[in-house]
Amino acid sequence: MTDLEELHREMTAWRHDLHAHPEFGFEEKRTAAFVAEKLRAFGVEVADGIGGTGVVGTLTRGSGNRAIALRADMDALRIAEQGTAAYRSQTPGTMHACGHDGHTAMLLGAAKLLADEGGFDGTVRFIFQPAEEWGRGALAMLEDGLIERFPFEEIFGLHNMPGLPIGHSRPGAVRSCRPRTISRSW
C-alpha cells in the first residue's frame, strides 16, 4: 500500500468517525478535540477554543516569513439522518448533511501530508471553523483575534460539490450550502 493509499484510508476513517458524531454550531467540542488531537500527533502546533470551538493549527518549515491559511468547517445540521450506513449519525436530530465531516477530514489529511513531507518554506495555518451553517463561526473567530493572532497573507477553502465528476474542480468563488457563504474550490 502506498503512503497516499494509507492516507486515503485514514481520511475515510476520520470522516466516518466525524459523520457518526455530528455536532451543531458552537457545540463542536468532540470534533474540536478530535481535530486538535490529530494535529498534535502530526507535530502541528495547536490553539483551540478560538471563537468558541474553533481550532487553528500552525506548521512552519524553513525560514520563510510568508504564511497562508487553509480552512474547513466542522459543524453539522439539525436534520435527522435517514441513512443506514454503519457510520450514520449517532446524534438524534443532527447530521453532516452538507459535507463538513469530509471537509474536516480533507484538511486533516492536508495537515498530515504537509507535516510529513514539508515541501514549503514558511507557515501554513489550518483553520477549523465552527458554526458555518448559521453564519456566526467565522465572525466569532475574527472577533477572537484570528488574523492578529495567526497572521496569513491568503486563505483557501473548499466545499464539496455533489454532481461534479470525481477528480474535477471548479476554481474560484462558488456558493456553498448557505447563499452568503463563499468558498474557493481548488
User: What confidence score (pLDDT) does residue 1 get?
Assistant: 63
Task: Name the E strands within the chain.
Answer: 45-50, 54-61, 67-73, 122-129, 154-157, 172-175, 182-185
Query: What's the mean per-residue pLDDT of the chain?
Result: 90
Task: Render pLDDT for 122-178 as a digit per residue (tens, 0 to 9).
Answer: 999 999 999 998 889 999 999 999 999 999 999 999 877 777 787 777 777 655 444
Q: What is the DSSP-derived secondary structure letter of residue 89?
A: -
**Which segment of 19-28, 52-61, 139-148, 168-177 scores lowest on mean pLDDT?**
168-177
**CATH number, domain containing residue 8:** 3.40.630.10
Mean pLDDT of 52-64: 97
Distance of CA 161 to CAs 98, 102, 110, 175, Å? 9, 11, 19, 10
Cell numbers 478560538: residue: 50
Of 74, 127, 129, which Cα lies nearest the Cα of 105? 74
Q: Give residue-wise pLDDT tens across range 91-120.
A: 999 999 989 999 999 999 999 999 999 999
Supply the range of the domain harboring residue 33.
3-185
How many domains does the structure of the chain reveal? 1
- Predicted confidence band at 182 (pLDDT cuts at 50, 70, 90)? very low
pTM of the model: 0.89
> Who wins on pLDDT, 180 or 41?
41
Q: What integer pLDDT is reported at residue 181 of this predicted model?
A: 36
Residue (of 149, 128, 119) closest to 32 by Cα position:
128
pLDDT of the residue at 165: 82
